[in-house]
Structure formats: C-alpha cells, structure tokens
Amino acid sequence: MSILSISNLTQSYGDFDVFVGLNATISNDGKVGMVGPNGIGKTTLLRVLAGLDQASAGSVHTARDTRIGYLRQEAMEAFAGRDNTIYAEMLTVFQGVKAREADLRELEHQMADQGADDSLLARYSAAQEAFERAGGYDYEVRISQVLQGLGFSKSDWEMRLAILSGGQKTRALLARLLLEQPDLLILDEPTNHLDVDAIEWLENVLKTWDGALLIVSHDRYFLDTVVNRIWEMSRT
C-alpha cells in the first residue's frame, strides 16, 4: 500500500521546467533515497511533496491521515518567531502527554484530600493507562537520547532557538522530527551538520524507522546504509 504517490508532476518557473511529468510511489514502509546533480530540482520536489509549494501541474496523493515531517535546509524558516529553549521545543512534541500527566497529578491531589473511593480509583487507573500508552513514562528519556545522539550536550539544552547557528537549528529541527515520528519523514541533506558519531547514531535510528522515508543526501554510504530504493533525477 502506498503512503504517497505522484502523477505527471511538473514544476515550472516561467519558461524553465525544473521537472516534467514525474510519476512515482512510496510504500507505507518504503525507504527511498533521492540523488542527482546540484540544481536538478531535488529540493524543489521535496517542498512540493511536503506541501510547502504547489506544483505547476500533476498531482500528489497521500494516504488518509498521513503525517509528514520535513527537514528543510532552511531550518531558520521552520523556527521563525519561536524563542523556546532547545529542550522546551522538544517538549512541545509531547503536549498531549503533559496534559495527561497533569490529569494524573490532579487525581492524586483529589485522592490525598478526599480519600480514594472506587470511582476515583477507577478514574486514576484509566488515566494512568492512557498516560503509559502515550509514552508518558519515557518521553524525557527519549528527548535526552535524541538530543545527545545529534550532538547536543546537556549544557546546550537551555540555549534559545533564536541564538543558535544555522547548523544547530537544523539539528534541533531534526531532533524534533524524530521525536514526532511522522508517518513519512522527508529529509533534505540530514548529515550536513552532523559529526561522524551523530551520523552513525542517525543511521541506526533510520534503519529501524517505523514508517516511510524519503532522503536526499550527497553521502552515498549513508544512503546505502539506510534506504532500499533510489530515485535518480537527471536531465533528459
């Protein structure tokens, strides 16, 4: 089953055709790498597939309720107007979990004040199960693993997004996307601002990614390690 399909997709600017009549599909668990020379239109295509730009002609179809995450090269655009710390930005992924945690704390206060009758115990048990299913007992561990895996030391976590370098913002955006776990993760040159250890860590994460991947990268070893299918863009 396909999570994404494109049909006769064309993108033109005036008389210049970036690409014409593209047809392709990505399966629900597809791991696709995209290669081609600089300027061929890879980023242009990714922006259309991610829904940021409209194609000149053709269509893009995604499976119902598909969540798409896109690592763009211009991470500053993604964080425009946001002044969270790095750690606070990661916490935004878990707003639903935090709300369930607040419900638990409120029920605990009620039990302490009023005693734990059967009705209150049943509500607490249901809330606790919902919190656990949502990953409430491990989300902080996940944040720590992802940030450290991508090269952020704990002393970096309180840095504000506004003062980060372009490369740091890209790594922060990648971290947030990995925590969001979208159904289709689109990555544009994800290794550009990573050191060797972080690249190896990312390879291991993506090799077992529970979803579909579309990755543009100049690092062919990285692609060979992570993907099982290649799209090649070329001038004809």
Give the model's confidence band at 48: pLDDT under 50 very low, under 70 low, under 90 confident, else very high.
very high
Task: Describe the strand order of the beta sheet including 16-27 as a list of residue ranges.
Answer: 16-27, 2-13, 57-62
Per-domain boundaries in the chain: 2-67+182-232
Give the residue from 93, 75, 72, 52 showing the smallest Cα distance to 162: 75
pTM: 0.86
Q: In this structure, what token pair is assigned to residue 17?
A: 């055709």
Sheet holding 68-71, edge to edge: 68-71, 184-188, 212-216, 31-35, 229-232
Domain 2-67+182-232 homologous superfamily, CATH: P-loop containing nucleotide triphosphate hydrolases (3.40.50.300)
Question: pLDDT digit string (tens) for 180-210?
Answer: 999 999 999 999 999 999 999 999 999 999 9
Q: Decide: helix, strand or coil at residue 174.
A: helix
For the chain, how are helix, strand and coil distributed in percent, rounded to 5?
Answer: 45, 25, 30
Phi and psi dihedrals of 127, rounded to 5?
-65, -35
Report pLDDT for 236: 66
- Mean pLDDT value of segment 98-121: 75
At residue 96, the pLDDT reads 78
For the stretch 159-183, pLDDT in tens is: 999 999 999 999 999 999 999 999 9
* Pair 160, 83: CB distance under 8 Å: yes
- pLDDT tens string 113-167: 777 677 777 777 777 777 777 677 788 999 999 999 999 999 999 999 999 999 9
| Cβ-based neighbours of 232, under 8 Å, separated by 6 or more | 34, 35, 36
